[in-house]
Structure 1
Amino acid sequence: MTKTNTTGMTEASDTMIKFDGVTKIYSDQTVAIEDISFKVERGTTTVFVGPSGCGKTTTMTLVNRMQDPTEGTVYYDGADIQELDKVDLRRDIGYVIQEIGLFNHMTVGENIATVPELKGWNQSRIDDRVDELLELMDLKPGTYRDQYPNALSGGQQQRVGVARALAADPDVLLMDEPFGALDPLTREELQDEFLEIQERIDTTILFVTHDINEALKMGDNIAIFDVGELVQYGSPKEILHNPATNFVENFIGNNKTLKELQITPVQDIMSESVPTAEQPTASSTTDTGEDSTAALADGTGNQYLTPTDTVDIALSRMIETDTQSLPVVKDDDIVGTITESSIRTHQSNGGV
């Protein structure tokens, strides 16, 4: 069974984007990328990573036809992208850049509403979507909808940029160094938040970064580039355990064990057993009498984990709380337990 999307194309497989022998040569004869071929599956996040000038951003911009290939074919939902109308295509694709690019003369709500208005949505639908996305980005609509971008912090502005890109429910979201200009703490916070958002949206994401740690953390698959060449494409596990070339090995760098902990979600190794009575639970209180669920929500709690937290976070919280196990909580219910010994067993069995 096939369905027709907003650009009028039929969906025939799980492949959303396909590069087939694609080369891009600029007018000065610079070869940006040469003969690259790979597939991006629907609903996954693929991270393009590599040093500056390696062709990763060029590759991404071929998808929304900001540039066209010199040779080869880019397919979008089964159709040759050259046969698609540029305007319709770009309205069907969300785009987030490092510089954010919000319109400072427009409110937050007006910024988010830009593409839905261009697509002819009625005002009620637009208003609902704006509020829905502000909630998703952890920005209270009543507080932020009518503010202007220059009144927001860098992290808040980037959240609005992501909301604007998602406003018309795009099939594909392009993210070009989206967190690169932020300070390290804000960057890590937004990475974690976006990983949670990924669980709730059905969007194919292409994500450009120069940071291998960010690539390993954010990607279902990773495309590693080196001066116009795609040198390896695979899952974070495959990249870490089987680097295809010395370039990839060196680009990954040292501390592979730590990198594995940083990309392994707690849910992959937790036990589904319920914690014992002396362990903290979702309904227990802190030493100040505060409900621990509320404490976690406001950032002061560290008594338990969520399934999507990574194992390095689990180890850190065990050290902070001087315990060898922590409960795993989802929607205020305990769904399992992770222990120091289970982490050690996981690593001794080959890690991720």
Structure 2
Amino acid sequence: MIEFDNVTKVYDDGTVAIEDVSFEVEAGTTTVLVGPSGCGKTTSMKLVNRLEEPTDGTVYFDGTDVTDLDKIELRRDVGYVIQEIGLFDHMTVGENIATVPELKGWDEERVDARVDELLELMDLPPAQYRDQYPRELSGGQRQRVGVARALAADPDVLLMDEPFGALDPITRENLQDEFLDIQEEINTTILFVTHSIDEALKMGDKIAIFDIGEVVQYDTPQEILRNPKSDFVRDFIGADRTLKQLQVTQVETVMREESPDQHAELADWRSDDGVTPVSPTDSTQVALSRIIGSGTDAVPVVDDGRAVGVVTEEDIRRERPVTTGGA
């Protein structure tokens, strides 16, 4: 869907923002660009919707060089969410969300239906929020409206530049969780910029780690944690790689597909208040916490009310990343 092919960006003052950057974003996935301030991650993202132009190399959008596409039409086809949100204060919530569909010529009935659909998706009931103004909303609610506006015209690609960075930690974590649920429904290709490795590990299917204008590792969160390719990556991840590995590994990747009743300590788990099941999509950190809390060495895995397996402490510990270099 999006491809960077040996892309370099040099500003007029000679500053090299990025140099020979290459990676590919698969359709329907979330790729997170992460790194310290000034490393080139936001510049890279802006090349996709031509807020910046490459000096050398090519950025492809669905197989087409973005410089061959009309800027205005491209930006209407690519959703864009920024930390400052950028809602129009003189417009209602509904009018803000309707902006791009109206520019694209959608009829009024279709626009209204899309506004209501997105407000419901963002857990903002239309009857309550459609006619409110941005100043009447909390920071988290405004950010939800910003995401809804970016999704309004059904974009194939969504660019998100530090979208939750200005929020308090609790609101930020809640919105991250909600957005992961939303992404399962919308299946949009997302390029997500953050300076937080924890946010990158949580949100990304793939992560591009930047260091002073270059991508030093591009891989899945799990592989980056298992095998950091340089001291910079290892230091950027931090010393708690084992904990991070638990956070990004889902139970379904380590569980045993067998009946909980086959385990003596779980035989009466349905009536035992001390054993709380986990779901296949829970993290192994959640599973390990419940194993320790239950005083057993395993907990049931339940999906839609049906037991689908068990996960043991042994299964979880076997998946810990290889630690080298003191990490």
TM-score computed with the length of structure 2 as normaliser? 0.88
CA contact (8 A) 2:33 2:194 kept: yes
> What does residue 246 of structure 1 align with?
231
Instruction: Give the Å deviation of 1:146.
Output: 2.1
SS in 1 for 2:167: coil
CA distance in 2, matches of 1:194, 1:321: 31
Alignment of 1:148-163 (within 5 A): 148-163=133-148
> What does residue 268 of structure 2 align with?
278
Gaps of 5+ in 2: 262-266
CA distance in 1, matches of 2:91, 2:279: 37
Match of 2:281 among 308, 315, 320: 308
Task: Name the amino acid aligned to 1:152.
Answer: L
Counterparts in 2 of 1:259 and 1:205: CA distance versus 1, 3 Å: same
Task: Name the amino acid aligned to 1:220.
Answer: D
CA distance in 2, matches of 1:37, 1:159: 32
Q: 2:149 aligned with 1:181, yes or no?
A: no
SS in 1 for 2:32: strand
Instruction: Give the Å deviation of 1:257.
Output: 0.8
Deviations 1:221-242 (A, max 9, x none): 1111111122111111221222
Q: 2:103 aligned with 1:118, yes or no?
A: yes
Deviations 1:263-305 (A, max 9, x none): 1122222344455573359xx9x99xxxxxxxxxxxxxx9444
Q: 2:124 aligned with 1:139, yes or no?
A: yes
CA contact (8 A) 1:274 1:334 kept: yes
Counterparts in 2 of 1:135 and 1:268: CA distance versus 1, 3 Å: farther
Instruction: Give the Å deviation of 1:170.
Output: 0.6
Counterparts in 2 of 1:133 and 1:339: CA distance versus 1, 3 Å: farther
CA distance in 1, matches of 2:153, 2:306: 33
> What does residue 264 of structure 2 align with?
none
CA distance in 1, matches of 2:90, 2:78: 24
CA contact (8 A) 1:280 1:327 kept: no
Deviations 1:128-149 (A, max 9, x none): 2222222222222222222222
Aligned Cα RMSD in Å?
2.5
Greater mean alpha carbon deviation, residues 88-97 or residues 336-345: 336-345
CA distance in 1, matches of 2:296, 2:128: 39
Determine what percentage of the aligned residue pairs are the same residue. Answer: 67
Instruction: Give the Å deviation of 1:192.
Output: 1.4
Match of 1:165 among 140, 150, 173: 150
TM-score computed with the length of structure 1 as normaliser? 0.82
> What does residue 206 of structure 2 align with?
221
Deviations 1:188-209 (A, max 9, x none): 1111111122212221110001
Counterparts in 2 of 1:274 and 1:98: CA distance versus 1, 3 Å: farther
Task: Name the amino acid aligned to 1:184.
Answer: P
CA contact (8 A) 2:7 2:19 kept: yes
CA distance in 1, matches of 2:77, 2:298: 46
SS in 1 for 2:193: strand
SS in 2 for 1:43: coil
Alignment of 1:24-173 (within 5 A): 24-173=9-158
Task: Name the amino acid aligned to 2:176.
Answer: Q
Instruction: Give the Å deviation of 1:56.
Output: 0.3
Instruction: Give the Å deviation of 1:323.
Output: 6.2
Match of 1:191 among 160, 176, 193: 176
Deviations 1:2-33 (A, max 9, x none): xxxxxxxxxxxxxx111112111111111111
Task: Name the amino acid aligned to 1:279.
Answer: W
Task: Name the amino acid aligned to 1:278.
Answer: D
Greater mean alpha carbon deviation, residues 40-49 or residues 263-272: 263-272
CA distance in 1, matches of 2:14, 2:322: 49
Deviations 1:87-117 (A, max 9, x none): 1100110111111111222222221111111
Counterparts in 2 of 1:100 and 1:316: CA distance versus 1, 3 Å: farther
Structure 1 or 2: larger helix share?
A: 2
Counterparts in 2 of 1:192 and 1:84: CA distance versus 1, 3 Å: same
